Structure 1
């Protein structure tokens, strides 16, 4: 298995390695129509996803801190092996704060059609420091791909290379760029039970036919359908979020919906006071039922993001 830091990358169309202002490698994926995605090796984090017209689809705060080890406020941070503060580790775990490497020859990915896709394979293994905090040895492979139609796909494969089982929670913490939070609605969560993090994780059932926003929202929707839609009326576009967990589909269920609203935004040093209006987090996640892997077992979780015009 060969890895490197990104100075050399397998010659593949639509893939380029550049450096950010701190000298950290970033991978830029492009398709033939001109859509693009940019991924930082710091955190394995997707920082940008643009349409063929150059329109940015992911939100990044104007006050985002670009200096490691702080995770960047925006894009798609990877939350692993913990989501939120539900364990002994730092908020959302350590994967989003670590340096990943580009993997040249990863194990083959079943059911992945590479035709017309530009993609990169990243790898994270625990450091000695990580093992002191979370004493479980793992290999976390992440493939980010951009298809000919501009769809963005993220496939995570987490393998237990430990001698004993371990459990983890996980999320693709996706910050969507929106016109105005009061003009947006989320469909695909109707009638679902959810845990409300603003009410001590009390369980409720969604009553509306869509979720709209008039105040802070921080919810974990349980047993969600495979497709959730974020409708942005002003921009006449809809984000489609599809998730998949293999081989145990039944544990890849949660959808986290978060917007900090005005009061909380003012307490966040890396978010502008009014920027909550232009962002909405809708995460494919495995939060409520952590995933347990026996020695040698591997879990795969997939997120497909697409954009469709809407009225």
Structure 2
């Protein structure tokens, strides 16, 4: 466990006996990570404000995935041959005892935890590919949250996967937020059978259900929350796409682990690889990283 620069990691257990890790930085920001799904369940600013949404009806009991925080959708995002959004988010991960070496600048003042997922025999029956998925969650001195994934093919044949960090941001009111950084991008609209469109607006605002994958975004994505006077910034590497989702009122009523009105307090903006799956040759490793930060805005 790291204790550099008064950054600390505390271990607790949830009610199912599964380990959780509380990362804290010297300024009082924190993040809570569970071995269940390798999922971030809380990210708080130094003022103690919760920045992630967790549904009041979330089920914290395996094998159900937890609705909120940052579920990791792997090896499939959305629907396909596997259960929706893949199986990584409802498996018990392990502590990684052989994490890749750290660059010393990187570890300075950061609290971090290294997790590892390997497929079980049952997983290999539904998705017959051997892999090691290493996940580092770190909280920087300035309060930014970083998630770095390294996925290695330890098979003797290639495999492909899609992936998303399905980040549920906590917002004041969905009608009051806007997203910038998606201008002119093509997107696949899941409400129109994945038809391809081009974003025409200079900011995305919400007045009905949105379920889109914006393609090949290279810059930062900013989520402006006027009422709370804060802006989330999403930066990413190795993840070309951005999924944007809000279920709105009708869909929310059909989601059992989401309150009927809770869609107003959440917005999912995911760093992802969706359109072109990532293919790994035997022995090859892929790295993808998301950095989340929050700024006070006027």
TM-score by length of structure 1 reads 0.93
> 1:53 offset after TM fit, Å?
1.3
> 1:107 offset after TM fit, Å?
2.4
Q: Would you say 1:255 and 2:233 are equivalent positions?
A: no
| Counterpart for residue 76 of structure 1 | 70
Q: Which runs of 5+ in 2 are unaligned?
A: none
- Which of 96, 100, 122 matches 1:103? 96
In the TM superposition, what are the counterparts of 1:264-303 in structure 2 within 5 Å?
A: 264-303=251-290
Q: Distance in 2 between matches of 1:112 and 1:178?
A: 33
> 1:109 offset after TM fit, Å?
4.6
Q: Distance in 2 between matches of 1:17 and 1:225?
A: 36
Residue 106 of structure 2 aligns to a residue in which SS? coil
**Cα deviation code 1:116-155 (max 9, x no counterpart):** 1000000000000000000000000000000110000000
**Cα deviation code 1:75-101 (max 9, x no counterpart):** 00000000000x210000000010001
Q: Is the 8 A contact 1:142 1:155 kept in 2?
A: yes
Q: Would you say 1:45 and 2:35 are equivalent positions?
A: no
Residue 113 of structure 1 aligns to a residue in which SS? helix
> 1:183 offset after TM fit, Å?
0.2
Q: Is the 8 A contact 1:10 1:104 kept in 2?
A: no
Q: Would you say 1:56 and 2:50 are equivalent positions?
A: yes
Q: Distance in 2 between matches of 1:111 and 1:259?
A: 39
Q: Is the 8 A contact 2:12 2:21 kept in 1?
A: yes
| Counterpart for residue 229 of structure 1 | 222
| Counterpart for residue 14 of structure 2 | 20
TM-score by length of structure 2 reads 0.97
Q: Would you say 1:170 and 2:181 are equivalent positions?
A: no
> 1:106 offset after TM fit, Å?
1.3
**Cα deviation code 1:57-92 (max 9, x no counterpart):** 00000000010110000000000000000x210000
| Counterpart for residue 205 of structure 1 | 198
| Counterpart for residue 34 of structure 1 | 28
Residue 27 of structure 2 aligns to a residue in which SS? coil
| Counterpart for residue 295 of structure 2 | 308
Q: Distance in 1 between matches of 2:74 and 2:97?
A: 23
**Cα deviation code 1:157-185 (max 9, x no counterpart):** 00000000000000000000000000000
Q: Distance in 2 between matches of 1:71 and 1:115?
A: 33
> 1:226 offset after TM fit, Å?
2.5
Q: Distance in 2 between matches of 1:203 and 1:78?
A: 25
Decide whether aligned partners of structure 1 residues 54 and 200 sit closer, same or farther in structure 2, where only a CA change above 3 A counts. Answer: same
> 1:52 offset after TM fit, Å?
1.1
| Counterpart for residue 4 of structure 1 | none
Q: Is the 8 A contact 1:189 1:225 kept in 2?
A: no
Q: Distance in 2 between matches of 1:276 and 1:299?
A: 33
> 1:310 offset after TM fit, Å?
1.0
**How much is the aligned-residue C-alpha RMSD, in angstroms?**
1.2
Q: Is the 8 A contact 1:226 1:244 kept in 2?
A: no
Q: Distance in 2 between matches of 1:209 and 1:107?
A: 40
Q: Distance in 2 between matches of 1:111 and 1:82?
A: 34
> 1:253 offset after TM fit, Å?
1.1
Q: Would you say 1:67 and 2:51 are equivalent positions?
A: no
